[in-house]
A and B are shown apart, each in its own frame.
Chain A
Amino acid sequence: MAKRMLTARLSGERSAIMKAPDLVGVDIFKDIDHKVIEKFPGTVVRREFSAGEVICREGEGGTTAFYLLQGSVKVFIARRLGAAAGKERQGWRAMVGRWLGQKRMSRPAHSSDAIIPIDANVDLTYGQPRTTLGAGEVFGEMSCLNLAPRSATVVAETDCVMLEILRNMYEQLQKSPTFREKMDANYRARALQGHLRNVPIFRDLPDDVLERLQSHAQLIAVDAGTTIFNEGDEADGVYVIRLGQVRVSQKFPGGERTLAYLTRGDFFGETGLLRRAKRNATCKAVDHPILEGGRKRKPARVELVKLAAEDFATILDEFPRIKGRLETVAQERIRQQQKARVSITVSAPSKRVEDLGLLQGQNLMLIDLERCTRCDQCVDACVSAHEDGISRLFRTGPRYDKYLVPSSCRMCLDPVCMIGCPVGSIRRSEDLSIIIEDWCVGCGICAKQCPYESIVMHELEEYGEEVSERLTRIAETGEVMAVTQRAAVCDQCEDLPTGPACVYSCPHDAAHRVNAADFLSAGGLFAGVAAVDSSHGDAQGEGS
């Protein structure tokens, strides 16, 4: 089907299917036998684009990779540019507003150098979500191999020529030493340093130390489904994800909890660098979700950067001045991880509980229907608390006993919504809530993945006049056609001093956020509710 789509786009003289003789002069096809190319006819198409022409748009489906032969392209996330248009208010009104929990006046949560991973050998940053790619570079690898949606918008900066490649040919390319060397060199030159800087213990290292680290980094690849290491294994180094996704999970009494799905630019196993402690989590390479109705595919590759503990020790011997500082950072990381551990103890849940997926909920929204007067204050509060004016709470869903389990994020033990985000914009915060960053490209994978319909895709036009105007302007300049939607999920109002606005604003004490395990375990339903609510009350100093 992808091949049909690829060839269907051929038009006029600006596109042409490449045959084996046509690819003779192309460096990345140097190692590939002509017979292999002839075995997959129509899988490589030469395309020409004029300056300003859009090559692909963020959030769209894609099945091909592009190899740039001539010219250069601009790569950017229009959504992020749009969001950045919001003005931050200043002065006493902003101060009062912040104190009163008025979210619209809150400050951005990211530093400008935070990485936004995209499907290329470069990354964007939060402050500057645009970059340029030149001849000899590849983009769209994840779309090609894993059917991931396009992670960024690509527009021809100059007139350019490129090869559009389908998966079966791209897999042949991956076996080619020349192609691998070229890709590795590009990655080392353009992205590796940024990825290493993303690891907290490396963040403040001097450039000379980081360069030594880069030279020792090994680029490795594993198939999806492979366990990279198990909880309890001896730690042997730190890993940074170059391509693909990794699931991090921990065992608990009574179950296993997924701590995170990590994506390009994320890291894991860093405490193992300094201390030969045992691994405190299991890390497994995972595939992207299959978008097209369960079609069988070969497992995707997950590419990693490994920095072995031995190599790091050697470097530290060369630079003893930084050793003490790193030890402090590592200790802090271990302390944070220990803090995040909570026990899961639920004995013999009923079938109804299993059917409703209640046990997934680490922070389950419940509405006591004996108290609820259906006034919708909870929904209004949710709308009011978010700057996009979109409710993350819908007062509809299954009932359990006298409670309604509304459509709102449960902070699942296994947050499958996090699998497959092409730009890593969905993540878990330290308090386990799910956050969707403002560089979401609106592909909708997370919403499709969520089993409880708790992620809302909403039209960007609803995002407010200011942002819409900016996007329209961007569209008019010919850089990009505006992305029309983005995802929103309950973030537990993490940056509001009051806690979740829905619970805070319920006049009838009917809305609750509970840990499902506590809620269902011994002590009964009401005990579970009381336990969580009292903790909120204490935090706010407001008894009632």
Chain B
Amino acid sequence: MLVDRKHIPWAVGTLVAGGAASAWYVSDAPRHLNGPSGSTLVGFTLGSVALAIMLFCTALSLKRKVPHWRTGKASTWLRGHIWLGLLTCLLVGLHAAFRLGGPMTMLLWALLTLVTISGLLGLLIQQFVPRLLLHSVPGETIAQQLQRRLNDLPGLAERVVVQYAGGLDTAAPPWDDGGEIPAKPPAGGEPIRRFYLDHLSGHLAGQAGGDLDDAHRAENLFSALHTMTPAHAHAGIAELSSIYHLHRDLCRQRRLMRVLFAWLIVHVPLSWALLVLVMAHAFTALRFWT
């Protein structure tokens, strides 16, 4: 989610709420001989509010299951998720009087830290990666079709090579869709065939370390190929070049999509783990509260 002007009320609200909670904590702290803790009225209240916010934040996953239900706009939920989630860190700190406590509360602290950091990382990623996708991947496709389109590219390239160079070294053509194969290919297509076998086929198959991995080197290779072939084959080179660029685009998209969603691998399961442990913590604390 882009952080824009619509976040200002939420940011202000979070600051005010955080300030009020801190003021209450500071004013209440001197009253307790052993110092503030989660079992004081202030600590308990702030802890309860933090738990409520955690429940709300986790409920975002459930809302996604019924996206069109009239439970509020998803963007409003997400802003609440971000800002109230940040507020939770402060509230939990006040609730625990900024002490690590025993093993259980230490684990809770660790999870909260990881969840918060991964969430902030996700927010940061969402500020840049969608723009990168927009500007650097003009041939973007929907994620579900990405691999399929990548798989189609070698076949397309081979068909171009067959058309302009007469065939590959392999005994049988890899395609079998009834496409027409010219009986006698135009002369002068050998450089195209060599280029395909030496460079492009490996690149399209995903082999790293080839000359085409580098964009500048690739441009040079295509230019050289252009000068080596007769004019009638230039259209074929243009087609191979566009296939190469589309492959680059799709690979870039795949990388960026991984970046875009990788943080969720940490954020979501740890959030659920945090919620479960927090509930256990709350249950235990209430059960043995004296």
Which residues of A are interface residues toward B (Cβ below 8 A)? 99-103, 369-374, 376-377, 380-381, 384-385, 394-396, 399, 402, 493, 496-498, 501, 504-509, 540, 542, 544
Contacts and interface: CB of A to CB of B under 8 A. Distances in A.
Interface stretch (B24-32, B72-80, B220-228, B234-242): B72-80
Residue among A395, A504, A506 with max Cβ neighbours from chain B (10 Å): A504
B74 A101 contact: no
Interface stretch (B36-44, B125-133, B173-181): B125-133
A377 B64 contact: yes
Given A99-B70, A504-B73, A374 B143 contact: yes
B67 A381 contact: yes
Contact of A380 (B67, B72, B257): B67
Interface string B57-77: 000000010111111111111
Contacts of B147: none
A394 B260 CA distance: 20
A501 B6 contact: no
Contacts of B70: 99-101, 497-498
B1 interface: yes
Contacts of A507: 1, 74-75, 77-78
B134 interface: yes
Interface string B227-266: 0000000000000000000000000000001001000000
A427 B256 CA distance: 42
Contacts of A501: 67-68
Nearest to A493: B68
Contacts of A99: 70
Interface string B102-130: 00000000000000000000000010011
Contacts of B129: 373
Given A101-B69, A369-B130, A370-B131, A508 B75 contact: yes
Contacts of B1: 371, 373, 507-509
Contacts, number: 94
B143 to A, nearest CB: 6
B17 interface: no
B65 to A, nearest CB: 8
A371 B67 contact: no
Contacts of B126: 373, 508
A395 to B, nearest CB: 5
A101 B63 CA distance: 13
B134 A369 contact: yes
Contacts of A100: 66, 69-71
Interface of B: 1-2, 6, 64, 66-79, 126, 129-131, 133-134, 138, 141-143, 257, 260
Contacts of B72: 542
4 nearest CB pairs, A to B: A505-B67, A501-B68, A381-B67, A507-B74
Given A369-B130, A373-B130, A544 B79 contact: yes
Q: Which of B6, B68, B73, B138 neighbours the largest number of chain A CB atoms within 10 Å of its CB?
A: B68
11 contacts: A101-B68, A369-B133, A374-B260, A381-B68, A396-B142, A402-B134, A497-B70, A501-B67, A508-B78, A542-B76, A544-B73
Contact of A544 (B2, B6, B143): B6
A384 B6 CA distance: 28
A372 B130 contact: yes
Given A497-B70, A507-B77, A508-B75, 9 more contacts: A103-B68, A373-B1, A373-B129, A374-B142, A374-B257, A377-B74, A394-B142, A501-B67, A507-B1
B257 A504 contact: no
A509 B131 contact: no
Nearest to B1: A508
A395 B130 CA distance: 14
Of residues A102, A507, A508, A509, which shows the largest number of chain B Cβ atoms within 10 Å of its Cβ? Answer: A507
A419 B72 CA distance: 38
B61 to A, nearest CB: 12
Nearest to A374: B143
Contacts of B133: 369, 374
Contacts of B68: 101-103, 381, 384-385, 493, 496, 498, 501, 504-505
A102 B67 CA distance: 10
A222 B123 CA distance: 64
Contacts of A542: 72-73, 76
A536 to B, nearest CB: 9
